[in-house]
Chain A
């Protein structure tokens, strides 16, 4: 896949990507109010970056987000979720029991914060791994 020569494709993708990223962030942070959550947000952000790779230059994206970086991003998300679970143990509860976290808020708010952290972790992990798969299949042969 080389640089896309079509002016319309390039312009439309460049204009659409910020809105897609914004929509992904909205889905990520409003998962507790409406439909959505970490997984959907990760997928939408991945599709935005895939659109950038298709409409723009795949090589540029590859140099900015190498396989190593993407694997590190995915691993950070996965480990982050586990850490949130372990925090529950450290605070004297069970694995993934957020209620006992020592934060100066009411029980509800603590749950909300922990759930949002888990959602963000899912989103980051899904983004890293899914884009890694795309990069690996698309650019396996140089």
Chain B
């Protein structure tokens, strides 16, 4: 496969954007010292991962996996549906992300209340 092929690059553009967003989020998490900034980076990484999975399940010319009301028969092969499994798994992942963010932020509030700083390096000195 030719890496320089423009069709190859354009055919994967969602994946490239997801990778770039993961890189931005990871850089935020490693390089920034403010705890809340780190959590923002974490959120960016997570949405990028969702984007990656949702792109996996999509199919060109397909429609959302919701059947029209009243049709009880299984769909005929003519209609293409997007794969519902990545959607369902990412729905669970979004819940876990929300819980993680909430818990992390409440820890940050408690840390600030006690040590009066959110700077990771200063916290390491204080601890």
Contact = CB atoms under 8 A, between A and B. Distances in A.
Please say whether the chains A and B touch (CB closer than 8 A). Answer: yes
Interface of A: 33-35, 37, 39, 126, 130, 133, 136-137, 140
A142 B109 CA distance: 15
B75 to A, nearest CB: 16
Interface string B84-127: 00000001001100100010011001000000000000000000
B66 interface: yes
A140 B66 contact: no
Given A39-B91, A39-B95, A137 B106 contact: yes
20 contacts: A33-B66, A33-B69, A34-B66, A35-B64, A35-B66, A37-B91, A39-B91, A39-B94, A39-B95, A126-B95, A130-B98, A130-B102, A133-B102, A133-B106, A136-B106, A137-B102, A137-B105, A137-B106, A137-B109, A140-B109
State the main secondary structure of chain B at its contact with A: helix
Given A33-B66, A130-B102, A137-B106, 13 more contacts: A34-B66, A35-B64, A35-B66, A37-B91, A39-B94, A39-B95, A130-B98, A133-B102, A136-B106, A137-B102, A137-B105, A137-B109, A140-B109
Interface residues of B, number: 11
Interface of B: 64, 66, 69, 91, 94-95, 98, 102, 105-106, 109
Contacts of A133: 102, 106
Contacts of B94: 39
A137 B64 CA distance: 38
A67 to B, nearest CB: 13
A73 to B, nearest CB: 16
